[in-house]
Amino acid sequence: KASMHMAGGAKKVVISAPSADAPMFVMGVNNEKYENSMDVVSNASCTTNCLAPLAKVINDEFGIKEALMTTVHAVTATQQTVDGPSQKDWRGGRAACYNIIPSSTGAAKAVGKVIPELNGKLTGMSFRVPTANVSVVDLTARLENGADYATICAKIKDASENEMKGILGYQNKDIVSSDFISDTHSSIFDEKAGIALTDDFVKLVSWYDNEAGYSQRVIDLIKHMDVSK
């Protein structure tokens, strides 16, 4: 469908959603693999853009053996204001404004497309909650090489100040979801929200403005494509 824009005169098309057949890119994770011959590309989803930078840092530093992701996701335009029919699933047709709605998401599996080493090691699900904006990812991972929680946090903080600057943020204050409205990071790691059971079994929490943060990455991908001519 996206290629129809090219028939209308567009030279390049960026899909602001996951795609089954177009190359998928997450800025800060695999955008260096973009080639000028690629005319139609995907910017993945807002949740993949939150999860992938965090997963990359953890996998590069400690190795991810296996992991489960849950996103607690703000309401989106696809949901119903009151109970009604849903083409996707029965629960998805329930009223968005006063329900917590379990839902499927391909965001975790999509990480395997942008970080091939994690293919088959990640899956996840979503809870749609009645908030207007800002979502949060819970990544529960078993690590190949264990480390205490403070060391893991230190590695994430270092990445946020260096190679992932502007993509991955770091927060150690007692903040809540509305504090991240208009934050343009793809992912903001919350040091105080995470926990560890053992050195190799950890729960990591990262916030994202699923509107502003994602929109900024679409712009960044377009700019990256332009300078990569």
Q: What is the pLDDT of residues 134-158, one digit of tens each?
A: 999 999 999 999 999 999 999 999 9
Residue entry with tokens 């509107």: 211
Average pLDDT over residues 51-59: 98
Average pLDDT of the residues of the chain? 96
pLDDT in tens, 154-169: 999 999 999 999 999 9
Is residue 204 within 8 A of residue 54, CB to CB? The reply is: yes
Q: Is there a catalytic annotation at residue 153?
A: no
pLDDT in tens, 120-133: 999 999 999 999 99
pLDDT of residue 3: 79
pLDDT of residue 86: 87
Per the CATH hierarchy, to which homologous superfamily does domain 45-213 belong?
Dihydrodipicolinate Reductase; domain 2 (3.30.360.10)
Q: Which two structure tokens, joined as six digits, stand for 94?
A: 């329930």
User: DSSP labels for the chain?
Assistant: -THHHHHTT-S-EEESS--SSS-B--TTTTGGG--TT--EEE---HHHHHHHHHHHHHHHHT-EEEEEEEEEE---TTSBSSS---SS-TGGGSBGGG--EEEE--HHHHHHHHSGGGTTTEEEEEEE-S-SS-EEEEEEEEESS---HHHHHHHHHHHHHTTTTTTEEEE-S---GGGGTT---SEEEETTT-EEEETTEEEEEEEE-TTHHHHHHHHHHHHHHHHT-
pLDDT of residue 6: 85
pTM of the model: 0.95
The pLDDT confidence band at residue 51, using thresholds 50, 70 and 90, is: very high
pLDDT of residue 113: 94
Catalytic residue chosen out of the listed positions 46, 50, 97, 153: 46
